Structure 1
Amino acid sequence: MSWQSALACWYLRRQFRPETQKPRINVERARALTAKRVWSPRVPGGWRLRELYSANDTPLRGEWLEPASESSSLRDGPTVLYCHGGGYYFCSPQTHRALVFGLATRADAAVFSLGYRLAPEHRFPAALDDATAAYRRLIADGIAPKSIVIAGDSAGGGLALATLVALRDAGDPLPAGGLLFSPWTDLAATGDSIRTNDGRDPMFSGPAIGPAAKLYLGDTPATHPHASPVYADLHGLPPLFMMAGDTEVLLDDSRRVADNARAAGVECEFEVWKNVPHVWPIFTPFLPEAKRALDRSAAFVRRVTSGAAPSTQPSSAMSMV
């Protein structure tokens, strides 16, 4: 455990976790605090950021980060459709620029960070509808499915996986892979780690997960497979690469998806990292663990979009890092 990760965990335990222990979720406060604290990195040299936030930009409402020398409509390299985290009710592409920029530059991939509609103003399936519509627009614009990876973190990781399931169910051509950082895949909050890691997780209290889910679900059952993809049949999905921390209350949301994917014949690499906060890649470049995680994630993006053979690890591999 690096001293940087220890410091981040100390800060989150004192500043963020107490917010998750309050009896009522204050959506406006969460959004305001996130906007106030957001740190936005510089656009990397040789890259350009295009912000698309007008009503006319739907379904590609959000931000493109792409090599400045490439055409704005078509690329030969990988493309990542990124779904930010934030419990489906706060955060934005702006809050996740550090992670997105780090992934893009390492993978030499154009990344579209989706500004999907947020709950409770827009409940399920609004976010899923936005993600599937954005993917279909990328295809309609001439980007080959096998050059696309759908990625996300936390709620966005669950959304990325749900998008893969929904696209398969609809008969759409599937992308090359799915990349999931600490995904929230069980909105019913039934994983053992909700209880066993309560108190160990520096960011969340276990009992906070269920109430947060209700903001997004409304009257939708928490076990709906397009809301909680841990309950979905995962057969036929492209390769998955997942990471989670060993102290996270959401650890079992990844562990069970990995088990289900393996049982369905899906190639799935799952890494459990020791003593890191929830979605630690977002703390790049400050955490060395974040930089290493993004290096490994970029290697996955390059591999699956190039058509290269799978890694030498078995599809059921779960490694401790």
Structure 2
Amino acid sequence: MSILVGAVLVVLVLALLAYIFTRDSLRKYDLPEGQRFSPADANAVAASAAAVKALNKRLRDASGPLEKMPWSERIHSMRETMDTFFAGADTSSVVTPVDAAGVPAEWVVAPGADCSRRFLYIHGGAFMAGSSKGYRVLTDKLSEITNSAVLAIDYRLMPENKRLDSVTDCRISYDWMLENGPQGPDSFAPTAVFVAGDSAGGNLTLALLAWIRDTRRAAPNAALALSPVTDARFVSPSIRGNLDSDVILRPLAKRLAWVPGFLVGLAARYMAGHNASDPVVSPLLGDLAGLPPILVLASDCEVLRDDGRRYVNKAVEAGTDASLMLWDNVPHVWPIFYHDLPEAAEALEQVDRFFERHS
């Protein structure tokens, strides 16, 4: 009898966990879809498909082996791959390493860029990989198209550090950037300030915006989030729905897809290294009113598509000027592949127009 009672209690506890950790109260933010972009004609469609196919093969060759590696080896390999993937790309900016109040960083300044316009860039990499060096191909382009000095930071990574350490480093860097330019402290008073990040860096960007608002700091003119993580609970429909079509994130998301529904919340808490429902790590779950203009870009076939969609729709409901732009059949954070994909150049053109409107 006691065994039966114990079994019933276990079932009830599991059912309670399933309810607590897998309920999804944000489905109402799955619509509207956002502005969609597709090739204009048959020739463009064919050219795009060929370019995407070639890039996806290169990405699979780079990330495919990760699926079979032990976790510790996987992290090391991820870091090496991200730091060297664009090693041969041409850039024209002057790169200057700096110490941003204890946070390693570098100024990336395109020829002729206005250093009174400052742009904080927060790289992606699942909070465990990525670096300012590995992202120079993108920060160089952002400095050029936004006519600004880009401060690319190297926030502390997991698992050597806590998840919230990355949040702290972004806050410190933002404050430092307001008071320092490429020529030194108070060299130019900022005439415009921007913030952007991709994937994990998109998460940190959106969390930073809420902190800036809540602490009454000088807000950026506008912010950009490329394929951001907005809900660390991993309950957005595309997390599982787009698993097979996401070439880049599949090696990381595949393990989560096998987690039983009632354990997703526990797995999410473990992966976040913090309460996954805290808006500090899940900006979607916070107050999205009173934020600066925000542009979110996402691919229709990536696992984080609905993280971005839900964030924008909730932000618009709260009165924030936010917009979502979706592209078909492109990889996660595709604007960084502007040397390879016509859609990346198109996306960067939209980014340029967005920041120009809010300068």
TM-score, scaled to structure 1: 0.84
Letter in 2 for 1:278: H
Do the aligned residues in 2 keep the contact of 1:60 with 1:114 (CA within 8 Å)?
yes
1:51 aligns with 2:93: no
> Which whole-Å CA distance do the structure 2 matches of 1:69 and 1:24 have between them?
44
> Which whole-Å CA distance do the structure 2 matches of 1:20 and 1:144 have between them?
47
1:11 aligns with 2:58: yes
**Residue in structure 2 matched with residue 37 of structure 1 by the alignment:** 85
1:288 aligns with 2:342: yes
Letter in 2 for 1:248: E
Matches within 5 A, 1:108-257: 108-141=147-180, 142=186, 147-205=192-250, 206-208=253-255, 217-218=272-273, 220-257=274-311
Which of 37, 53, 61 is the aligned partner of 2:104?
61
Where is the helix percentage greater, Structure 1 or Structure 2? 2
What SS does structure 1 have at the residue aligned with 2:213? Answer: helix
Do the aligned residues in 2 keep the contact of 1:50 with 1:65 (CA within 8 Å)?
yes
**Residue in structure 1 matched with residue 121 of structure 2 by the alignment:** 82
> Which whole-Å CA distance do the structure 2 matches of 1:287 and 1:243 have between them?
15
Letter in 1 for 2:134: T
Letter in 1 for 2:139: V
Letter in 2 for 1:12: L
Letter in 1 for 2:230: T
Q: CA deviation at 1:277?
A: 0.2
Q: CA deviation at 1:12?
A: 2.5
Question: 1:184-243 CA distances to partner (integer Å, 9 max, x unpaired)?
Answer: 11121110001111212122224446799667632x111110111111111110000111
What SS does structure 1 have at the residue aligned with 2:175? Answer: helix
List runs of 5+ in structure 1 lacking aligned partners: 306-321
Letter in 1 for 2:306: D
Distance 1:21 1:174, change over 3 A: farther
Q: Which moved more, 1:20-29 or 1:91-100?
A: 20-29
Letter in 1 for 2:78: A
Do the aligned residues in 1 keep the contact of 2:110 with 2:140 (CA within 8 Å)?
no
Q: CA deviation at 1:262?
A: 0.6
Query: Is the radius of gyration larger for structure 1 or structure 2?
Result: 2
Q: CA deviation at 1:24?
A: 3.6
State the identity as a percent: 32
Q: CA deviation at 1:29?
A: 2.4
Do the aligned residues in 1 keep the contact of 2:193 with 2:220 (CA within 8 Å)?
yes
Which of 259, 280, 288 is the aligned partner of 2:313?
259
Q: CA deviation at 1:58?
A: 3.2
CA RMSD in angstroms comes to 2.5
> Which whole-Å CA distance do the structure 1 matches of 2:192 and 2:94 have between them?
20
Distance 1:208 1:258, change over 3 A: farther
Q: CA deviation at 1:32?
A: 2.7
**Residue in structure 2 matched with residue 273 of structure 1 by the alignment:** 327
Q: CA deviation at 1:7?
A: 1.4
